[in-house]
Amino acid sequence: MNNHLRELRNDHGWSQADLAEKLEVSRQTINAIETGKYDPSLPLAFKIARLFGLSIESIFEPAP
């Protein structure tokens, strides 16, 4: 799965640690999602989408 999490995070001026704190996950989780090593659970994907005020589909998309 591809995602735009790093770009969204940078647009808000947040570090991985900042975003992790807002989502109540570890910084390592954020890093793993951004690098494509981990796909978030559905509840976490909803939490991320809510935080940025976007749809899940606008943040996460299937890999080609």
List, for residues 48-64, the tens digit of each pLDDT value: 999 999 999 999 998 77
CATH number for the domain harbouring residue 24 = 1.10.260.40
DSSP per residue, 25-62: S-HHHHHHHHTTS-PPPHHHHHHHHHHHTS-HHHHEE-
Domain that holds residue 52: 2-61
pLDDT single digits (tens) 7-59: 999 999 999 999 999 999 999 999 999 999 999 999 999 999 999 999 999 99
Total domains present in the chain: 1
pTM of the model as a whole: 0.92
